[in-house]
Structure 1
Amino acid sequence: LALDGTTGQIWVEPSEERKQELQLQSNSKDELPTEVITQDGHKIPLMANVLGEADAKFALDCGAQGIGLLRTEFLYLERLTIPSEEEQLATYQAIAEIMGTHPLTIRTLDIGGDKPIPFLNLASSDAPSARHTPEPNPFLGWRGIRQSLDCPEMLKIQLRAILRGSYGDNIKVMFPMVSSVEEVRAAKEILAEAKAELRQEGYGFNEQMPVGIMVEVPAAVTMADQLAAEVDFFSIGTNDLSQYVMAADRTNPKVAKLADALEPAVLRMIQQTVTVAHQAGIPVSVCGQLASNPVGIPILLGLGVDELSVNPPAIATVMSVISQLTINQAEMLAGEALQLDSAVGVREYIINQLDRSV
């Protein structure tokens, strides 16, 4: 057996490459640098993926420089009613207070797929599709921004709460599971309505609060140029992007191994997204598990990713790996990885190259 202490993932009879990857991760935790900076002096913003107040405090203790992904699903799960605006506001304000001036990116509700919700048989919604029924393939179904747009009042309540908490200039909002420009425009219209209501009611908020999207669907990658014109930043969710690119349900043990973010097909999608985003002048972060993988980190930096966001227990590993790299080295490793033909080949190549540089 092999255990990844960062993610909790267990392997039965792991391959030699997997053992080497986990050993590399373990070794990288031995010494924790005080700054997230490469050997050649490039500072890499390192954020945390968190679930709530306790997570936010823990993230700062671990060395996070902010929150790159606040998952808001915890506010909605295991309850029979939609959380009120005031309830959500109190939570967002509490987390913002913990973070101080550090960046805080709040993702709107991302329920569905592997995270169903009990109360979404919404009698209050006029949308015929806003009824929670079993789906044969929920990962290709009613989830993320699709669900929010079918329940506009629920989305508006959340956006009002986020706006009311945006008294500083460090809070951003991010929409998940975007697959079209129309979805982004529709979400921004609801955001504009929320702003207009708050102005009329006399509430203060950040009028220029940045708006971003999760890039986790191949359609978003191919339309990245048009999407970049609509938003202020991209955040790549490599977990979902991998399963959609590889057409492999990551919760299905028979095919989950195919949904490997180190597959060159996935890496090329990341490269395309970063290139287009930078041409449009917007930054790109990665918040999936690849961002905490010692094999994936040099590739992401080499592809030009601007920011990494990881689970708090992984921060020490990521800081250490970054401190042992130069950007030139990362660019060389990424360039070679893109030319390989499998995740196995990528993993072997990166591990061998990093071992040589130690």
Structure 2
Amino acid sequence: MLFSKRKVKGYATDTGGTTSHTAIISRALRVPAVVGMKTISKNVSTGDFVIINGFDGEVIINPQEKTISRYRLKREEFIHHESRLIETINLPCETLDKKSVEISANIEFIEEVEFLVNCGHCGIGLYRTEHLFMSKGDYPSEAEQIEEYMHIANVTFPKNVTLRTFDLGGDKVLPTSVKEINPNLGWRGIRISLDRTDIFKIQLRAMLLSSVKKNIKVMFPMISSLDEVRKAKEILNEVKTELNNQGAVFDNDIKTGIMVEIPSAFVLADDLAKEVGFFSVGTNDLTQYMLAVDRGNELISGMYQQLHPAIIRALKAIVSSAHSNNITVSICGEMASIPIAVPLLVGLGFDELSVNPGIFPEIKQIVRNINYADSKKLSEQVQTISTESELIKVLDKFLSEKVKDKLI
């Protein structure tokens, strides 16, 4: 689904979940949405007056006037709350005991960049380049990519922008007419890039030629083995050699990293950390693959638990592997945008939280109202918890006691 914030006031769908592609985009653009309602399309007719309450997952069709008045008041209160939060965007992003935490933005479309002004001109922790393919229906040319990447780098400068190489397949459009029985376990991410080295080289050339300001980082998705990383780096070095021979100007020391989102990458984290300059944990797919739960399958949607204890323990191990090898580690999955999870992620030691632009001010305000020491104790406490429901209670209690009463 592609839409413009200027044309859409809100939406409700029969299918989908909170981590679906469409839901993620709606949150980034601050478009009210309720997904997975099963029969909403049958119950709403053209001309109906509809209230979409994205906070509580409610859709009210043709409400009474008193209900409309109540929700208009709630909307005004929310707008006021947001304006108060935005007042803090240029303040340091650090905990009460002065622990710095980088907060950056997940960006899907070039149009979203305009919302970075509400994030204090933060960096971009994840730029999903595959939208160039999805909007065109074919691989973009080198010139088209350079134009976009340079624009993003210029807008973000002096902050960094992490460009993820094409992550097609799975729940995204696949560049082939072949139907896969299980696309989530099929031809996707880095696998496509390594098979189509001609396309991969064009993208890497574009990224390198856009890196003159030295604020671009390159990230490879869906890494499952050391061989994939080494092959990707080998191809990158080939492109560098070609550009150097042509006398091109680019960042020869450009940083490369990987998405940690497959169980094998988590198990091999210590080895992988020796090969790259940074990790970025994609909790959406990591959760899906570790729990063997299709996040788009409504029959088992309740089993897709982002705060499952197994995931939390995996995150601790990933951070430990990164830091023991002197590389940074960020988290760019939806978990980073869940308010109750933020103190835990800070306590686990993540160097960077890459979040939806729409929730950036709130996440920053949470960080500014917690102590790192308390968060570290919290992260140690939850390692002994065995169920998600119990873990959520602990996280919610921490947020209520330490943060909510301090939010401006």
Same fold (TM over 0.5): yes
Deviations 1:291-311 (A, max 9, x none): 111111111111111100011
Corresponding residue for 2:124?
67
**Which residue, 241, 252, 276 being the options, matches 2:286?**
241
1:316 equivalenced with 2:361 (yes/no): yes
1:102 equivalenced with 2:159 (yes/no): yes
* 1:150–1:351 Cα change, 3 Å: same
The 8 Å contact of residues 173 and 209 in structure 1, kept in 2 or not, is answered as yes
**Which residue, 81, 92, 112 being the options, matches 1:35?**
92
The 8 Å contact of residues 118 and 361 in structure 2, kept in 1 or not, is answered as no
**Which residue, 206, 210, 215 being the options, matches 1:165?**
210
Distance, in Å, in 2 between the alignment partners of 1:71 and 1:9 is 24
Corresponding residue for 2:180?
135
Distance, in Å, in 1 between the alignment partners of 2:222 and 2:34 is 24
Distance, in Å, in 2 between the alignment partners of 1:186 and 1:75 is 24
1:225 equivalenced with 2:270 (yes/no): yes
Identity %: 40
List aligned pairs for 1:232-311, cutoff 5 A: 232-311=277-356
- Any unmatched runs of 5+ in structure 2? 1-11, 13-17, 38-54, 57-77
1:180 equivalenced with 2:262 (yes/no): no
Distance, in Å, in 2 between the alignment partners of 1:244 and 1:9 is 25
The 8 Å contact of residues 178 and 214 in structure 1, kept in 2 or not, is answered as yes
* 1:334–1:191 Cα change, 3 Å: same
Secondary structure of 1:301's counterpart equals: helix
- Any unmatched runs of 5+ in structure 1? 13-17, 20-25, 122-131
Corresponding residue for 1:194?
239
1:113 equivalenced with 2:170 (yes/no): yes
What's the CA shift for 1:81?
3.6
Larger Rg: 2
What's the CA shift for 1:59?
1.8
Higher relative contact order (CA 8 A, sep 6+): 1
Deviations 1:171-201 (A, max 9, x none): 1000000000000001011101111111122
**Which residue, 204, 210, 233 being the options, matches 2:249?**
204
Deviations 1:69-91 (A, max 9, x none): 01001111143542111110011
**Which residue, 138, 142, 150 being the options, matches 1:85?**
142
Secondary structure of 2:224's counterpart equals: coil
Secondary structure of 1:172's counterpart equals: strand
Corresponding residue for 1:347?
392
The 8 Å contact of residues 35 and 319 in structure 1, kept in 2 or not, is answered as no
Which has the higher mean CA deviation after the structures are superposed, 335-344 or 311-320?
335-344
* 1:325–1:80 Cα change, 3 Å: closer
**Which residue, 106, 111, 135 being the options, matches 1:49?**
106
Corresponding residue for 2:378?
333
What's the CA shift for 1:11?
7.4
The 8 Å contact of residues 50 and 311 in structure 1, kept in 2 or not, is answered as yes
What's the CA shift for 1:9?
5.1
Distance, in Å, in 2 between the alignment partners of 1:249 and 1:69 is 23
> Could you tell me the TM-score, scaled by structure 2's length?
0.78
The 8 Å contact of residues 28 and 320 in structure 1, kept in 2 or not, is answered as no
The 8 Å contact of residues 180 and 219 in structure 1, kept in 2 or not, is answered as yes
What's the CA shift for 1:28?
8.3
- How many residues align? The count is 335
* 1:158–1:300 Cα change, 3 Å: same
Letter in 2 for 1:108: T
Deviations 1:227-278 (A, max 9, x none): 0111000000011111111110000011222222211100111110000110
The 8 Å contact of residues 121 and 156 in structure 2, kept in 1 or not, is answered as no
Distance, in Å, in 1 between the alignment partners of 2:348 and 2:102 is 15
Distance, in Å, in 1 between the alignment partners of 2:312 and 2:81 is 23
Letter in 2 for 1:74: H
What's the CA shift for 1:147?
1.1
Distance, in Å, in 1 between the alignment partners of 2:226 and 2:358 is 35
Secondary structure of 1:139's counterpart equals: helix
* 1:311–1:225 Cα change, 3 Å: same
What's the CA shift for 1:333?
1.4
What's the CA shift for 1:336?
1.6
**Which residue, 20, 27, 47 being the options, matches 1:6?**
27
What value does the CA root-mean-square deviation take over the aligned residues?
A: 2.2
The 8 Å contact of residues 28 and 321 in structure 1, kept in 2 or not, is answered as no
1:76 equivalenced with 2:133 (yes/no): yes
Distance, in Å, in 1 between the alignment partners of 2:34 and 2:353 is 21
The 8 Å contact of residues 274 and 325 in structure 2, kept in 1 or not, is answered as yes
Secondary structure of 2:181's counterpart equals: coil
